[in-house]
Amino acid sequence: MVRLGPHGVQVLSSVVSTQFAQHAPYGGVVPEIAARAHVEVIDVVIDQAMVEAGAGYGDLDGVAATAGPGLVGGVMVGLSAGKAIALARGLPLVAVNHLEGHAVSARLSEAVDYPFLLLLVSGGHCQLLSVEGVGVCRRLGSTIDDAAGEAFDKIAKALGLPYPGGPAREKLAATGDGSRFVLPRALLGRDGFDFSFSGLKTAAARLAEGLTADQAHCEQDRADLAAAVQSAIARQLAERTARAMAAYAREREGRSLRFVVAGGVAANGAVRAALTKVAAEHGFAFFAPSLAYCTDNAAMIALAGAERLAAGLKDGLDAPARPRWPHASPTLLR
Ligand code: KG4
Ligand code: ZN
């Protein structure tokens, strides 16, 4: 639950229930398990959010729920719960795009004014966006194959790390030498602002499988490979973002420049460090959500909903759950 006030955003509660344990035996998300797990916890999570915020239903001005994109079983559960509250209490409903939640997530902890250049890096997406205002955003580039988080997860699995393994993988990489393994450098110096991680993912996963199959290889080899993967991903994100920064700065001609990195991969220290550096080099103020708001959370969806509501944007109770839902149109920036 969030409150939009004259002095900025206040997060009253943000309850996150994870299902990692249920999916872990399968090494990835199983759609049927995900949908069932949502039904089991939704009421408890909503109750807990109300208790932690110290609020009752009468204190609400509106209800925001994610309407996509994503596995539609879970999305339907959350959206139906949001609709039920809106209907029962006579409140406006805002159907929020999950990516718009990530786009506003840095605004939960710091004042980040619009417009800004956004790198959204999560398990399913890797996009560079020009965010112009509430719900207004243009896509400058995106991955042509896998998302950065997907590459991280696949390689972590090949290294024998538990799913989803973000922090575990970062810890392993911290003790490694990233220069030992040479990995493909996709799209280096190429025009445009797209990304590609599938070559890196396949090459590193093959190396990782070799290391884990051969008992003679030690922990150090795994750490070196984890470090090489992390720096290769951070390097590509920084290189492609630097190109977009240069073009965006030309387009904005001397006006203030802000850069935001958001999404689960923005929790990674090496990724943050590489992007902090290119932002400074290109004259951009750098912003990233606090760690708790990088990975999926309730507060970012509530904030996206509250901002939409304040701008007079709301949805009908017939708002559909959408497995696919592009939230930005492509644009040309040269
Ligand atoms: O935004 P998010 O929570 O969910 C999606 O919308 O996809 O992002 C999850 C992704 C996963 O691929 C996870 O491995 C990655 O974020 N991630 C990390 C770290 N923490 C989470 N990747 C690298 N380093 C981390 N510390
Ligand atoms: Zn997400």
The reported pLDDT for the residue numbered 328 is 81
CB of residue 28 inside a 6 A radius of ligand 1: no
Pocket probe for ligand 1: among 127, 231, 295, 300, the residue whose CB has the most ligand atoms within 8 Å is 295
Query: Atom 19, ligand 1: which residue's CA is nearest?
Result: 166
In ligand 1, which atom is closest to the CA atom of 295? 3
The reported pLDDT for the residue numbered 146 is 96
The reported pLDDT for the residue numbered 24 is 84
Pocket probe for ligand 1: among 118, 122, 201, the residue whose CB has the most ligand atoms within 8 Å is 122
The whole-angstrom separation of Cα 89 and Cα 235 is: 49
CB of residue 143 inside a 6 A radius of ligand 1: no
CB of residue 122 inside a 6 A radius of ligand 1: yes
CB of residue 264 inside a 6 A radius of ligand 1: yes
CB of residue 149 inside a 6 A radius of ligand 1: yes
What are the mean pLDDT values of the chain's consecutive 10-residue runs (334 residues total)? 93 94 86 95 97 97 97 97 98 97 96 97 96 94 95 90 82 94 88 95 92 72 94 96 97 94 97 98 98 97 98 97 88 58
Ligand 1 centroid to Cα of residue 166, in Å, is 6
Tokens matching residue 235: 């390097």
The whole-angstrom separation of Cα 39 and Cα 99 is: 23
The whole-angstrom separation of Cα 33 and Cα 77 is: 13
The reported pLDDT for the residue numbered 274 is 98
**Ligand nearest to the Cα of 126, by number:** 1
Q: At which residue do the structure tokens 């939230």 appear?
A: 327
Residue 46 near residue 81 (C-beta atoms within 8 A):
yes
The reported pLDDT for the residue numbered 214 is 64
Helices (H), the chain: 20-23, 31-53, 72-89, 98-104, 148-158, 166-174, 198-213, 219-252, 269-281, 298-310
